[in-house]
Structure 1
């Protein structure tokens, strides 16, 4: 029987079990924060020329006055199992690449489901208006499936290929560079590969891609806001 895998890809915008009104409201806030100047635009994962080219097209969060709000604290390793803490960086692309690697990695041999969720929560923004925790927590299997994965010693590691600002995001900001300055939430698409293994020499590898909503206020380390929704024009 084929081994069930940890569902680490970006999930569809509709998820059962979550209050529809709350999810729609959060998604609307995130989209507005990401693009601000349009009500319906696709968050595309089209290719870019790499990190350096896209950084020139998007205002740097370090170029404005610093915020007085405290940074999101990280969860100690002893409380989060194998989940690493968030990096202390103000660069959206660098943070998104680290976040994607975290989301695509796990080890059920050393980490409980509760520890996995606690470790992931440490990456989240503390600003509830922009945080869509359900979109991130939804990547973790239910307790029964996690238990079965642990019985097989299932674990995954990830390698990151690249990260870039989607074309629609850079175009919107080119039209209105001040649009980002209320929430400082950036859309970043990350690609890479996830390698999964379990006991008895089982395993496999898959290509991965996800668009993340990353908040990087000036003077603060970046934090994760959401798995960014896709919206058709």
Structure 2
């Protein structure tokens, strides 16, 4: 008799120790409730006394330096694309986040692959928000016993309205961090032992960093943001 699909879960990563990270993440959550002003705070992290200039056009060039996977680990995620288009990168990153095969790789190996997508700038990287999208090690083991594997089809990506409104209100603000909000929708196809399977719609908003003269990189996964 085919096994039933086990419920999916999310990895509960430890809270970030630094005070500024808590404040900034809190600002994003507040943005969902208060609109443009709070959301913009996440994308305009500036050094003391720094002020943004007018936006510069991004161009395809050398990729940014990603965080390195831990030694001895493999990686199931595909290689990040070389692109200066935040929406194109966001769609590719969402597909990487939504696709995994517990039959062939461990949870740490899968996360090691995803690390290659992250920005190498620790100031803007929110790795904890990414790991929360992946089953924790215990659940991963249970899914592996059930031979669960998931593939994803990405539909469309766009800048959410609140982010576009924030840019319209202060076009130069983004030029400090060059981090864009990209909302992506798609569908996961799930299969497990005994010819079992299913599918479900997915949607999430990513923080994508695309500096001029560099390829885009993943900064994190944002809380729910209005489309």
User: Could you state the TM-score of these two structures normalised by the residue count of structure 1?
Assistant: 0.75
Q: CA deviation at 1:26?
A: 4.4
CA distance in 1: counterparts of 2:178 and 2:166, whole angstroms: 14
Does 2:125 correspond to 1:131?
yes
Does 2:1 correspond to 1:18?
no
Which structure 2 residues correspond to residues 72-111 of structure 1 after superposition, within 5 A?
72=66, 79-111=73-105
Q: Extract unaligned runs of 5+ from structure 2.
A: 30-34, 41-54
Number of aligned residues: 204
Structure 1 match to 2:144: 150
Which structure 2 residues correspond to residues 49-60 of structure 1 after superposition, within 5 A?
60=57
Alignment equivalent of 2:211, drawn from 214, 217, 221:
217
Which structure 2 residues correspond to residues 129-208 of structure 1 after superposition, within 5 A?
129-208=123-202
Alignment equivalent of 2:6, drawn from 4, 7, 17:
4
Q: Contact 1:74–1:86 at 8 Å: present in 2 too?
A: no
How much is the aligned-residue C-alpha RMSD, in angstroms? 3.4
User: CA separation of 1:195/1:151 partners in 2, compared to 1, >3 Å: closer, same or farther?
Assistant: same
CA distance in 1: counterparts of 2:110 and 2:37, whole angstroms: 34
Q: Extract unaligned runs of 5+ from structure 1.
A: 32-36, 43-57
Q: Contact 2:67–2:115 at 8 Å: present in 1 too?
A: no
Runs (4+) of structure 1 exceeding 3 A deviation are 5-8, 19-23, 28-31, 78-81
Q: Contact 1:27–1:132 at 8 Å: present in 2 too?
A: no
Q: Contact 2:97–2:134 at 8 Å: present in 1 too?
A: no
CA distance in 1: counterparts of 2:103 and 2:198, whole angstroms: 18
Structure 2 match to 1:115: 109
User: CA separation of 1:81/1:230 partners in 2, compared to 1, >3 Å: closer, same or farther?
Assistant: closer
User: CA separation of 1:40/1:6 partners in 2, compared to 1, >3 Å: closer, same or farther?
Assistant: same
User: Could you state the TM-score of these two structures normalised by the residue count of structure 2?
Assistant: 0.77
